[in-house]
Structure 1
């Protein structure tokens, strides 16, 4: 094996270890009792217990927050898929003089810090009576998922060979059929990554959820 390839694999292995180790350690601590957690020398061998998990899941506030998070994030990602993927395909396959501006606008939405949009959105939802509701969170999160899915899906669709789509048009497929039966399956791997990334993004969003909810829609 070439030295460069060996070094690359070693770096990837180290990066994977650094990414996975905190998750594994957190999971192990969740199975420890208090005495095992606070020891100076971390214990690797211990008697596992589910008391901590039972305590957390037994609290109504935690279950309500998980439910609200799942509903808000799931609905926002679904909206992002329904609206973002066709828009990304249109920009990638039917370019016009506004295509560059659209891509820049979509990308510029990620430039804004959350605090810059959280307060105006809170005022808007208060004025129309939707503050501290799941619909408000879903619509707000959808703005994030649509932009992220479009941003990541445009290059994915641009990577689909045009010859395949042209052959489909020759066989009598319409634009919608080509998008649904050709472009989506070919770009599926990249699109799954984009969808997963958008879900993690809105699931981890803290400031917007904090500003737009107080009790009923608390995540």
Structure 2
């Protein structure tokens, strides 16, 4: 009886803690969504529950031209939003894909071959890539700005794609190196004995087994590129501006359009929520690969 009571109590405690943590994580999303339907008065008095504390409206979505009564009407704000949304999608997907290709090749080389450049060996090269994440982006602001100005790459999608790919490349290399290290080397040796080339082994044997790690690296890179603000604000002005920059632009000297900012924020959050819900198992599987042998 005592064991059953302890087991039930422990289960209640665990599920209670998980429920509380889920509430803490989901409440900002709920708050952002509901704020897009509030008036200025409802926002200032801290109304929380729709139809109880306040009567929801379409104020935030009307300001973007995305409310039901504005969809059939020409809206310059909606056109701008769709352009920024398109920029975020194109830049994030391209940068994450480019980083995945380069990072996968580099990680496979570090995991399977021995390199030596002076006193630098594989582990030193791997740490060098990881150390790039320690450097604050603001330190590179001036050199990148001068370089892009000389190359005429300011306010272009290709400019953002290049710098985003380089910024997430260390993460891809680190994840994929551990993923390749967890794959038995005997599988590749057996395939090469059967006449398969190095590229054949890599494409036909290794990559299918490393699929979960590749999915995790791609998703994490996509999220980081999608949410990046500083570099996009520095290198863009009109043509290549992304959603995070548009969200921040709602703050001005005349005040903050909280309803518009909330609608924009939820529009930028929602695609990542969908990606996380459908691909969460790949993230967990990829990040935990190689941790248990």
CA-atom RMSD, angstroms? 2.7
Distance 1:2 1:174 in 2: 57
Distance 2:27 2:206 in 1: 37
Of the three residues 82, 86, 91, the one matched with 1:72 is 91
Deviation string, structure 1 residues 54-77 (Cα, Å, up to 9, x no partner): 532551322222222222211111
TM-score computed with the length of structure 2 as normaliser: 0.65
Of the three residues 150, 171, 181, the one matched with 1:127 is 150
* Alpha-carbon distance, 1:40 to partner: 4.0
Change (3 A) 1:9 1:43: closer
Which of the pair has more CA radius of gyration? 2
Of the three residues 109, 119, 129, the one matched with 1:90 is 109
- The answer to whether the Cα contact below 8 Å between 2:97 and 2:218 also exists between their aligned partners in 1 is no
Distance 1:92 1:2 in 2: 46
Change (3 A) 1:17 1:94: farther
Stretch of structure 1 that moved more, 130-139 or 117-126: 130-139
Say whether residues 1:190 and 2:223 are aligned partners: no
Distance 1:160 1:139 in 2: 30
Of the three residues 241, 245, 257, the one matched with 1:218 is 241
Deviation string, structure 1 residues 184-214 (Cα, Å, up to 9, x no partner): 2222222211111111112211111111111
Change (3 A) 1:173 1:117: same
TM-score computed with the length of structure 1 as normaliser: 0.85
How many pairs align?
A: 219
Stretch of structure 1 that moved more, 142-151 or 13-22: 13-22
